[in-house]
């Protein structure tokens, strides 16, 4: 039961983090009105797949939001030219051909994208509401030993999002 509660809390955080509603802006100078920045770079990760010992309710929750919808959305937006992918280590822009090569790599499957790391800015508005802006997301692919034991996640690529100020 504790596992389910933690999973649900993580999913709620992810849904709130991906909220696309923009805060109110001052049109004269394009800045957010009366906000206090709590942090510019809060980094945390969320697993996109359940553990091997997951119960059926975890499988449903993970499968519908993070794995199917989010991962496919990001790839589709990159291919449509609406989002730009970057190499996690060098911050070099990756071309659509680079992403196609990643997808053609032997053993690659979007279903193996097992972790998303969010980098967010958190602000508080004049009414005490929390505004979360996703600065970037980094995708990690599952990495296993030759014996099939999970070892870690290898960074696949990052996607940066524009802020109101850009």
Q: Is residue 28 predicted with pLDDT exceeding 80?
A: no
Cβ atoms 39, 123 nearer than 8 A: no
- Quickly state the pLDDT bin for 52 (edges 50, 70, 90): low
User: In a 10 Å sphere around its CB, with 0-12 CB exposed, 13-18 middle and 19+ buried, how is residue 156 labelled?
Assistant: buried
Would you state the structure tokens that stand for residue 139, as one six-digit string? Answer: 């995708």
Structural domain includes residue 149: yes
Structural domain includes residue 90: yes
pLDDT of residue 43: 93
Structural domain includes residue 165: no
User: In a 10 Å sphere around its CB, with 0-12 CB exposed, 13-18 middle and 19+ buried, how is residue 80 labelled?
Assistant: exposed
- Quickly state the pLDDT bin for 123 (edges 50, 70, 90): very high
Structural domain includes residue 29: yes
User: Could you tell me the residue range of the domain that residue 85 belongs to?
Assistant: 2-160
Torsion angle of the four alpha carbons 158, 82, 69, 4, in this order, in degrees rounded to the nearest 10? 40
pLDDT of residue 31: 47
Q: Is residue 25 predicted with pLDDT exceeding 60?
A: no
Would you state the structure tokens that stand for residue 68, as one six-digit string? Answer: 């199917």
Structural domain includes residue 52: yes
Number of independent structural domains in the chain: 1
Structural domain includes residue 166: no
Q: Give pTM, 2 decimals.
A: 0.70
Structural domain includes residue 82: yes
């Amino acid at each position: 039961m504790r596992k389910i509660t933690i999973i649900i809390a993580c999913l709620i955080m992810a849904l709130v983090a991906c909220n696309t509603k923009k805060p109110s802006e001052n049109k004269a100078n394009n800045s957010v009105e009366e906000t206090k920045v709590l942090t510019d770079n809060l980094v945390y990760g969320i697993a996109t797949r359940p553990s091997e010992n997951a119960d059926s309710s975890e499988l449903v929750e993970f499968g519908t939001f993070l794995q199917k919808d989010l991962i496919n959305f990001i790839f589709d937006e990159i291919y449509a030219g609406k989002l730009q992918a970057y190499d996690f280590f060098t911050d070099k822009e990756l071309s659509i051909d680079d992403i196609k090569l990643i997808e053609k790599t032997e053993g690659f499957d979007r279903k193996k994208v097992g972790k998303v790391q969010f980098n967010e800015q958190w602000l508080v508005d004049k009414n005490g509401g929390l505004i979360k802006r996703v600065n970037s997301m980094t995708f990690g692919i599952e990495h296993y030993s030759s014996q099939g034991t999970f070892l870690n996640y290898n960074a696949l690529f990052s996607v940066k999002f524009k802020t109101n100020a850009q």
